[in-house]
A = this chain, B = another copy of it.
Amino acid sequence: MTEETLHKAQDEGARTTREPLTHNRILAAALRIMDEEGLEAVSMRRIGRELGVEAMSLYNHVRDKEDVLDGVTDLVMGGFELPEPSEDWENAVREGARAWRRMLKAHPGVITLLFERKHPMKTVEALRPMEIALEILRSPGLSTPETVQAFHVFGGYILGFVTMELSQAFELGEENHRRAHEEFARGVPPEQLPRLTESLPYFADCDFDAEFDFGLELLIAGLWARTEGRR
């Protein structure tokens, strides 16, 4: 090790603990902000602050904000491990759907990233969950168009259910949740909206896990029945 290298290393260690900016560090920071403060909180200035750097410095490692969001999408999807297709088709679909739901709830921002933007995913790893989902759905003998159809049906169900779930359970804390519901209920006239009125308590306090599984089982059973003659 030469004098210069030693000196340099010492410099970095002593003078500046700040490690250099990186594409990955930027994406990680953006994901952290998105998960903790919501997608709308992710701004270039906010990411810069998170990394102790000015916003414009990010542009040395990233084309623009779109690029950041694309990267975050790939990051999340690339780290999403879907259970492998098994012989038990019904159980594979069930576990796959639950895994998708867990992932979407863990990173609510990716719903918007995936479905309200033109840009499709770019890396192979990010597309793997989709590949596995198609492989699972196909396995009981579905044709390719039928597989795509099943993907849209299951995918739509999972996506929409989690979206409804998140839109209702947004508040952080039981107390806020309860108060928000009570306040809403006060604005609903029972004589004009009887069904809504009687339903409100069950909207406020319902078992989303069980409800999700219930609808999921309907779809699985229905699709399974369609493939009766092929197995």
Contact = CB atoms under 8 A, between A and B. Distances in A.
Interface of A: 112, 114-116, 118, 120, 122, 124, 127-128, 130-131, 134-135, 138, 144-145, 147-149, 151-153, 155-167, 170-171, 180, 184, 187-189, 192-196, 198-199, 202-203, 206, 208, 210-211, 214-215, 217-219, 221-223
Contact of A189 (B124, B151, B189, B193): B124
A152 B206 contact: yes
A198 B160 CA distance: 26
Given A122-B187, A124-B189, A215-B152, A196 B164 contact: no
Contacts of A166: 115
Contact residues of A: prevailing secondary structure: helix
For this chain, the copies found in one complex come to: 2
24 contacts: A112-B116, A115-B163, A116-B167, A120-B184, A124-B189, A130-B196, A134-B195, A135-B195, A138-B195, A145-B206, A147-B195, A148-B206, A152-B211, A153-B214, A155-B160, A156-B161, A156-B162, A156-B164, A156-B215, A159-B160, A159-B164, A218-B223, A219-B219, A222-B222
Given A149-B211, A152-B215, A215-B157, A196 B134 contact: yes
Contacts of A120: 184
A211 B153 contact: yes
A211 B148 CA distance: 9
Q: Which 3 A-B pairs have the closest CB atoms?
A: A160-B160, A218-B222, A156-B161
Contacts of A147: 195, 199, 202
A123 to B, nearest CB: 9
Nearest to A120: B184
